[in-house]
Chain A
Amino acid sequence: MTAYLILENGRVFQGEFFGAAGEAVGEVVFTTGMTGYLETITDPGYHGQIILQSFPLIGNYGVIPADLEKDSISAKAYICKYPCQEPSNYRNEGDLDTFFMSKGIVGVKGIDTRALAKLIRDNGVMNAKITSQPPTEADRVQAAAYKIEAAIPAVSCKEVKTYGSGNLHVALLDFGMKDSLVKSLMARGCKVSVFPHDASPNMIMSMRPDGIMLSSGPGDPADPTNQVIIDNLKELIKLDIPMFGVCMGHLLLARAKGFETTKMKFGHHGSNQPVKDLKTGRVYISSQNHGYAAVAAREDCYFVNVNDGSCEGMDYGRSFSVQFQPEGRSGPTDTAFLFDKFVENMKEARNA
């Protein structure tokens, strides 16, 4: 069935549906990762967005339940050039088409994905509407009017849940995390209690955590619904408890520390972003998915992006945060040592 993608600037792409056919409106972002479509699709960080995959051959290894980051899909739709009908992998349990159908996710295939990605690169992020009907001006208006709001409350968990057992106890604030964040901490001998995004400092501290992990998540850090989180973080900062923020966690912590955040032209979405540790001069390849950045002078940064110089991390002493995702999934885990640093910080704080 023919699928139309109408961008807010009026440009129309014509492709075909796969997965669930139907309507979808969202913000189009392109991700350049060549592997990891399962992790990408199930990353709540894409809430409200239409994911455009630059790599054309998607679905080759099928659907592997163990590799999904969440059971649900927060993205509004998914676009790729050639979804694979006959996947091959010893862990594969089905193809993407069927999976999307079961999850009610709209998929679009066969469009000039590179042309669309370049359009976004040149014009900045744009909204779009996907429909099976020939496009009208009303579709464009509907796309243009779309806004992602109150994203974190939409994807965060509703109640506290504790995972694993371990000597160190981490309170993880869920802004729309991927499950591998919990796994990364557990792998380092931590007990992890996951809290809803707006959990109060009292509620968190009542469980006597050794440190607080701030997860990744969707939307604009300056969204009014996030003010409660920022206020809570300000309280927690006063307690001098070790904190480690990633992605949205990094942005919210930055705001709590008094830094501004800004919307980037088209953000960083992919597995190949080089970040430089300004203390050591070492460069690492990182996995990223963000459309906003903290506004900070280079001397205030812990990490910066090698290509565009944007802020990729801050070190506040006992607390630190990074814009990228050291847990990978998808993408490299070259910076996984940051979890070790967090563990060290917690041990130090406990012994202090």
Chain B
Amino acid sequence: MPRDKSIKKTMVIGSGPIVIGQAAEFDYAGTQACRVLREDGIEIVLVNSNPATIMTDNNIADHIYIEPLTLTTVKRIIEKERPDSILSGLGGQTGLTLSMQLAKDGFLDKMNVRLLGSLPETIDRAEDRQMFKDTMEEIGQPCIPSVIANELDTALSFADDMGYPVIVRPAFTMGGSGGGIAGNEEELREIATLGLSLSPIRQILVERSIAGWKEVEFEVMRDRAGNAIIICSMENFDPVGVHTGDSIVVAPTVTLADREYQMLRTASLNIVHSLKIEGGCNVQLALNPHSDEYAVIEVNPRVSRSSALASKATGYPIAKVATKIAIGYTLDEIINSVTGTTYAAFEPTLDYVAVKFPKWPFDKFVYADMKLGTQMKATGEVMSIADNFEEALLKAVRGAEIGLTTLDLPRLADKTDAAIRKELLQVTDQRLFVLYEAIKRGISIDELNQITKVDKWFLNSLLNIYKSSPRLQKPLVYKKVDTCAGEYEAKTPYFYSIENAEENEALPYAQKNDKPKIIVLGSGPIRIGQGIEFDYACVHCVWTLREMGYEVIVINNNPETVSTDFDTADRLYFEPLHIDDVMSIINQEKPEGVIVAFGGGTAIKLTRELAKRGVNIIGTSADSIDICEDRSRFDELLESLGISRPAGFSIMNTDEALEASAKLGYPVLLRPSYVIGGQNMIIAHQPEDIVEYMKIILRSKQDNPVLVDKYLQGLEIEVDAICDGKDVLIPGIMEHIERTGVHSGDSISVYPMRKESQLKTLGGFSQLKISNEPSMVAGQETDELSAKLYNLTEKLCLALNVKGLINIQYVLYNGEIYVIEVNPRASRTVPYISKVTGIPMCALATKVSIGKTLAELGVAPGIGKVPDYVAVKVPVFSFEKLAGLDITLGPEMKSTGEVLGIGRSLMEALYKGLVASKCNLKHEGGILLTVRESDKQEALGIAKKYKDLGFNIYATGGTAAFLKAHDFENVEVVEKIQNNAENNTVTLLESGKISYVICTTSKGRDPALDEVKIRRRACVLGIPCLTSLDTAMALADCLLSGFNEETTELVDINNF
């Protein structure tokens, strides 16, 4: 069946911000989808609240709305744009759920819009637990005994009948949010209550635990003619019980006999046929390791995280094919773009294995609960490819950037055998390493299999790794991923290394040399502090270089990204971003140079080692990069330039830290040098904090010193600039709503920076001493503050001889400007500033880094023209998925993603940003205030503002007393939890009377603390909890401005 010609204008819904369970894979999928629609001449309306995406780039769609992904807003966009159809299956759970809501309330029918891909009935039958169970029963597919519960009692009585443990899975939540394994009634009560509250339809599934069975997934593709194929099978190293997103996964299955494989394959096909899926679909099954009994776990009737993995593992472009199917094509009409000669109607076959290794945030969140279960906790993942599991696993570990190049975890060396055995009883992110330690000690494979149920095949692989001699310095050989195990010639292959082989398939490509070659290093796995923004930057760098006639080679290992798509670069090496692996490729390709400036900290970290080995670093020099990271060199530079920075010292141990802090005076800021996203960064208010911090930081080996700085609480200003070594362009100056102390990635960032006069009105800022005299910058008239910032930026750029991008964070404190951080590379604000200003920052930076001047590119130096719109970047967190974690914002970054609000005024943009971040904006109810001593004066003003808005004010003892003492009437006093009162803060939160919590504390991240409990409870209940008074003030102003979702302007950024 050829393409459906009635489709002329399609809306593509993205997946919104990166959160745990929904990462970059949907940008990759959505971008592929848009390209397919473009090829077929379909006009595209794109909606996504996440600005750090390729899909929201102006060349990807015709109309681009970076707007909140809410029902109201999307409806308004449909009314404005009048698309004839919506592509629902490529925007993750967010896109699918929105599409379904639009379909169900009759809006799509009314507007004459149809859903492309699977029908709403199909999606319902796959997603609604009861309908799914019924369908499976009809076609004789076994499900796990379970009950669908809309209330707690149903769950409890089922568990009474079946016996514990039972597994709870809430309906319509992504990444298993709110799910878990309950071992007893008490646990079930807690998990089920949470699950019910998180499910948009208040429904959970409670099922028999089949923990220990093999977990197997099939990626299936079906078209409307009923042709269905398996694209990839995957087997989890971790048996059932650990969320598949948190499991080590191998593709294809490796322990299933053909009979077992075919049984599950046929089951998967029967399931997608019965559901009448059109497009990509993921089927998860469990197989009893001691019989041929199996059970269907679940079906995702859409492109998923596993699809991205399956795509990259096999070379089969799942999102592309799913989109083609959605617009009417059948599988036998779609060409396999990797071979160029065969069709999409075939099953990829591999002659290698791909291993996925999750990237967890526990290195940053030392107090978060590291237990793995049905709630996904990983923020990202790496994939590695080799022709045996052992090599692939080691590559994955090396590429995961967890400080390990082998399976030896130093922490375990001193443990007793008993302690090792005990650790194995609990599944954590470190189980692989504990298993390896156990194997090293000679604990038998049988025993380990009994304890963990990990298949003996995997355990024997670990034993093989232990027995094999340390890696020989054998040259690596590169092989192609070609979808067909060599049966057909590949046109757009990508490469992976193996150790034992003769033929190097990359060599003919590497030796061609008809164009100058450049290697671009990617950013590795998505983690807190290094998200999709850096893949965005890399992709733009690659595109620009290709346009300029370079042959571009990408090295990256993140399967979720656009940069690892088969046709982004001329050549892709799917390899770890580890110095040895990278050098092997460099030695083979012999490029003109390597670009490290777009791959975030991952690429920057390699600079020193690359330079040491004589590799040409294109753009800003390795030496300049080192100056920015090396404390004493950086201080020298600032001193020579006469630029102020907060006083500070470099230290190596706890005593030195205490001494330095005493000299500086508390509070001080502590952080390791060479870090990403403020990892392990804290503000210490007293010596005890220093001791606690140093204990944590010294757990892992520190090659670089720890930095101790005087902490200045001022206004934070951020600048992204481009310099060609001579001229400097600042596309935009941003300010942060929150004062310094909150990591820039967790702050609400506003572009353009407000005028000085407005800045002065902010709470707590009366110290500005900069006059309102107009100044000149590169021939432009501007205000004095901007001029000063420009001059400082220019000085730094020239001194560092920056050739490309630079990101500088300033703090305005007592009327003076201090530099707090300089990063000579792409930053996380680059995508959004590029989009709002229309300045293609990555493209310009790429061009200047290879020697063009801004003048040659027709770009005048100075500060970019301020547009008519204000853009507000709002951070998005995944706190509900990380039990035990204190949600207080501080110098260590905690957000996983971001959204953007664009409006005519700051308040409109802020309102849209907050709505897009899924902040539950209520205009009535109560405010619970509990603030530290130093915040009380300021809290008074905030309380007044909320009171004027009509909120009831509740406060804990000290805060309430302060308010009352300052003539603030009608404060209701709430008991703390520790006082064991019947009515305390937590019961108040649960009563539903509270709309917002404002909670600041002086110290501590320990989950046992009262304030931490309040904040966690609020988070679980979905009550916005503001831990910075600046955020609280901004929110009040925003509420006061009176915007609602019907009154905001819908901004098509492609047609500003």
Contact = CB atoms under 8 A, between A and B. Distances in A.
B283 to A, nearest CB: 15
Contact of A38 (B252, B258, B351): B258
A115 B349 contact: no
Nearest to A66: B259
A331 to B, nearest CB: 7
Interface string B441-461: 000010000000001110010
Contact of B346 (A30, A110, A121, A272): A272
Interface stretch (A51-59, A187-195, A220-228, A318-326): A51-59
B117 to A, nearest CB: 19
Interface string B213-227: 000000000000111
Interface stretch (B198-206, B365-373, B484-492, B681-689): B484-492
B84 interface: no
Given A271-B349, A281-B225, A61 B484 contact: no
A334 interface: yes
B342 A307 contact: yes
B533 to A, nearest CB: 37
Nearest to A85: B460
Nearest to B461: A86
Chain B interface size, under 10 / 10 to 19 / 20 to 34 / 35 or more: 35 or more
Contacts of A333: 262, 266
B694 interface: no
Query: Which among B255, B261, B484 has the highest number of chain A CB atoms within 10 Å?
Result: B261
Contacts of A281: 225, 330, 332
Nearest to A86: B460
Interface in B311-358: 330-332, 341-343, 345-353
A34 B252 contact: yes
A39 interface: yes
B446 to A, nearest CB: 11
A90 B346 contact: no
A186 interface: no
A330 interface: yes
B402 interface: no
A90 B289 contact: yes
Contact of A112 (B257, B484, B501): B501
Contacts of A82: 387-388
A285 B229 contact: yes
A202 interface: no
B254 A57 contact: yes
Nearest to A36: B258
B699 interface: no
Given A38-B258, A54-B486, A90 B351 contact: no
A117 B500 CA distance: 16
A13 B501 CA distance: 10
A117 B351 contact: yes
Contacts of B252: 34-35
A33 B346 contact: no
B181 interface: no
A306 B291 CA distance: 37
Contacts of B486: 30, 32, 54, 114, 117-118, 121
Chain A interface size, under 10 / 10 to 19 / 20 to 34 / 35 or more: 35 or more
A114 B290 CA distance: 34
Contacts of A32: 349, 351, 484-487
B351 A113 contact: yes
Given A87-B457, A112-B501, A35 B256 contact: yes
A43 B828 CA distance: 58
B123 to A, nearest CB: 24
B347 A91 contact: no
A149 interface: no
A34 B266 CA distance: 16
Query: Which among B262, B485, B486 has the highest number of chain A CB atoms within 10 Å?
Result: B485
Given A88-B455, A112-B501, A307-B343, A331 B262 contact: yes
A88 B464 CA distance: 15
Query: Which among B261, B330, B387, B486 has the highest number of chain A CB atoms within 10 Å?
Result: B486
Given A32-B484, A328-B262, A57 B389 contact: yes
Interface string A247-277: 0000000000000000000000011111010
A86 B351 contact: no
A262 to B, nearest CB: 19
A97 B485 CA distance: 24
B479 interface: yes
B319 to A, nearest CB: 20
Contact of B349 (A33, A60, A112, A329): A33
B269 interface: yes
B349 A34 contact: yes
Interface string B470-494: 0000000001000011111100000
Nearest to B226: A282
A283 B332 contact: yes
A64 interface: yes
Contacts of A61: 255-257
Given A61-B255, A64-B257, A283-B345, A112 B503 contact: yes
A132 B341 CA distance: 40
A81 B351 CA distance: 10
B261 A35 contact: yes
A119 to B, nearest CB: 9
Given A112-B502, A307-B346, A54 B457 contact: no
Contacts of B256: 35, 61
Contacts of B455: 88
B620 interface: no
A98 interface: no
B506 to A, nearest CB: 13
B747 to A, nearest CB: 49
B848 to A, nearest CB: 42
Contact of B258 (A35, A117, A270, A273): A35
Contacts of A36: 258, 261
A89 B262 contact: no
Nearest to A281: B225
Contacts of B290: 90
A332 to B, nearest CB: 6
B346 A273 contact: yes
B262 to A, nearest CB: 6
Contact of A271 (B259, B347, B351, B352): B347
A89 B389 CA distance: 17
A23 interface: no
Interface in A40-98: 54-57, 60-61, 64, 67, 81-82, 84, 86-91
A115 B501 contact: yes
Given A34-B350, A54-B349, A333-B262, A90 B487 contact: no
B257 A274 contact: no
A331 B258 contact: yes
A114 B352 CA distance: 10
A274 B388 CA distance: 28
A35 B252 CA distance: 9
Contacts of B291: 90
Interface in A264-311: 270-274, 276, 281-285, 306-307
Given A306-B346, A333-B262, A89 B487 contact: no
A282 B349 contact: no
18 contacts: A33-B258, A35-B262, A36-B258, A57-B254, A60-B254, A67-B259, A87-B457, A90-B289, A90-B290, A90-B291, A113-B351, A115-B501, A121-B487, A272-B348, A274-B347, A282-B227, A306-B345, A332-B266
Interface of B: 225-227, 229-230, 252-259, 261-262, 265-266, 269, 289-291, 330-332, 341-343, 345-353, 387-389, 445, 455-457, 460, 463, 479, 484-489, 500-503
Please name the 5 residue pairs, one residue from A and one from B, whose CB atoms are nearest each other, closest first.
Answer: A36-B258, A272-B347, A115-B503, A88-B457, A54-B485
Given A56-B388, A283-B330, 20 more contacts: A35-B256, A54-B485, A57-B388, A61-B257, A86-B445, A86-B460, A112-B501, A113-B351, A114-B485, A117-B486, A121-B486, A270-B349, A272-B346, A274-B345, A282-B226, A285-B346, A329-B258, A331-B258, A332-B266, A333-B266
